[in-house]
Amino acid sequence: MARTTIAEEFVGQLADLGVDHLYGITGDSLNAIADAMRRGGRVRWIHTRHEEAAAFAAAAEAHLTERLAVCAGSCGPGNLHLINGLFDAHRSRVPVLALAAQIPTSEIGSGYFQETHPQELFRECSAYAELVSDTTQFSRVFERALRTAVGESDVAVVVLPGDLAWEAAPEASDTPPVVGAPGAPVPPSEALDRAAAVLNGAKRVTILAGAGCAHARPELLRVAAQLRAPIVHTIRGKEFVEYDNPFDVGMTGLLGFRSGYAAMGAADVLLMLGTDFPYRQFYPDRATVVQVDRRADQIGRRTTVAVPLVGDVARTLQALQPKLAPKTDGTHLEGALANYAKARADLDDLARGEAGTTPIHPQYVARVLDSLAAPDALFACDVGTPTVWAARYLRMNGPRRLVGSFVHGSMANALPQAIGAQVAFPDRQVVAMAGDGGLAMLLGELLTLRQHRLPVKIVVFNNGALGFVELEMKSAGLLEFATDLDNPDFAEVARAAGLFGVRAVRPEEVGPAVTAALAHPGPALVDVVVNRLELAMPPSLTWGEASGFALFLAKAILNGKGNEVVDLASSNWLH
């Protein structure tokens, strides 16, 4: 189709770049774009039921494919709904282009119906956001947005008034196609020498590996072997670092367990690789820190860094390795591995599912799901306790992938991220580990699964509460308040929406329910009623947190909630 309008140029250039679908909800300010897509036939419209879901879906696709993903919202409220998902994409640094339609150009500034100023509103959740105010400006704005999204692996927003989209397109640019950014430079030799001197002089080196190790696995394992260093991984590093790794000792932080915390605490040198791990209380107090990151602004944000190395993790480790003296004393590594084996055994013991016992332990649900899911399954997990169970019980193996709102920390991310994963990989098994609160927040996206026949499998951890919020209240010594969820039978809701739905209330029902859902050729939901009082304890409690729990127990008794104390005493958290 010959491109004559700005809308046709927009859609055509996306198609030329290999983009074959766009997530969003149309509206009159997007009519030109929708019509160009209809007539062109090269880019599909993935109609979500909420624009927030569209942005989350695009972000998940961009994360999994490392390619540009696109979402759109109509003027005013339509594109405002994109903001939360775009914040997640921006903070996770994935390439997403958002089209924010605008009211007619002649009405901007008049207080017109649905008027907002998206170029200002989106500024904080993007690397580039600009209004096209004239047809001659379109090519430059669109080109720069594409280059920012792809080249910087970030969010770019094009604000396009609906009337301009119908106008004749300017002459096509002669600028070469968008390409990815080159790898970050290797740190200078003198900086590598300083890092090598620190690492060679250390007795106990521990590595903290994050998402920046995605393409540095061989280099990471070689350096760990040279340094006889245990590797602690972050949640975003889990899918790249954890599997088939003889040096892995688990996670630290709020989602982790004690072996990772102990390995970092025992180190005299901490080597941070591609991570901006945010929780300062989990960093070692006295270790010297060497940090490698592509982004200079992330170095030293969380802890004092003695040797900053700005560079790509793989290329930096390649350059650093010849400067490292192999260590012969494996005491630190062996102790960390022994701690990990014990912590892993304890976690596995918590994932019990004896027949007839209720309520169901959520750890058991995660363990069953892990054992039954495909070797190349794509998982998305809601924030809160589903992320804890995913971090502790899903086994990565290379082909398996895991997405979540790990930096932005938004509720309701799992289902829309699963939509993006399934659209991008129609032949892969996609599983959403949803909390009952998260699922309910964007429940309408069940209809997106139905409409597009997306065979996403949803496992709902239904504890009737905002579980992680309750945990935070208890650790602060507060009685839980405003966290109750009066839920329906989500399996019945799923069946009413045209999905396969099954409910499990006893442990012996979990395996058959998950098996049936995974085998179903279309979208399916498993509603599992799990223990509300299961406490996902961090690997180390501060005195304030420990005293907070004690205060909570005292308040519970004084307020006539002694049954909760009894239930807690018999729950997994004391074992």
- Residues carrying an active site annotation: 51, 113-114, 383, 468
Residue 301 is encoded by which pair of tokens? 């944000």
- DSSP for 510-570, written as a single string: HHHHHHHHHHSSS-EEEEEEB-TT-----SS--HHHHHHHHHHHHHHHHTT-HHHHHHHHT
Please count the CA atoms within 13 angstroms of the CA of 167 that sit on its side-chain side.
18
Residue 281's Cβ-count burial label (10 Å; 0-12, 13-18, 19+) is exposed
Q: Give the single-character DSSP code of 306.
A: S
Residue 407's Cβ-count burial label (10 Å; 0-12, 13-18, 19+) is middle
Q: Residue type at 566?
A: V
The residues facing 155 across adjacent strands are 96
Task: Identify which of 459, 317, 312 has the alpha carbon closest to the alpha carbon of residue 385.
Answer: 459
- 53, 415 contact by CB (below 8 A): yes
Q: Give the single-character DSSP code of 484.
A: B
Question: Please, which residues have CB within 8 angstroms of residue 198's CB and are 6 or more apart in sequence?
Answer: 269, 288, 290, 306, 307
The residues facing 73 across adjacent strands are 25, 100
Q: Is 157 helix (H, G, I), strand (E, B) or coil?
A: strand
Residue showing tokens 């207080």: 111
Question: Please, which residues have CB within 8 angstroms of residue 305's CB and are 6 or more apart in sequence?
Answer: 272, 289, 290, 291, 299
Q: Is 291 helix (H, G, I), strand (E, B) or coil?
A: strand
Helix or strand (DSSP H, E) at 335:
helix 331-350
Q: Where are the alpha helices (DSSP H) in 205-272?
A: 217-227, 238-241, 258-265
CA angle 411, 413, 415 (to 5 degrees): 125
- 344, 216 contact by CB (below 8 A): no
Question: Please, which residues have CB within 8 angstroms of residue 286's CB and are 6 or more apart in sequence?
Answer: 268
Task: Please give the C-alpha separations between residue 104 and each of 78, 101, 170, 524, in angstroms, as whole numbers.
Answer: 15, 9, 19, 42
- 250, 336 contact by CB (below 8 A): no
Distance CA 40, CA 108 (A): 30
- DSSP for 94-108, written as a single string: --EEEEEEE--GGGT
Residue showing tokens 């709102």: 405
Q: Residue type at 427?
A: D
- DSSP for 185-211, written as a single string: PPPPHHHHHHHHHHHHT-S-EEEEE-G
Task: Identify which of 216, 445, 464 has the alpha carbon closest to the alpha carbon of residue 360.
Answer: 464
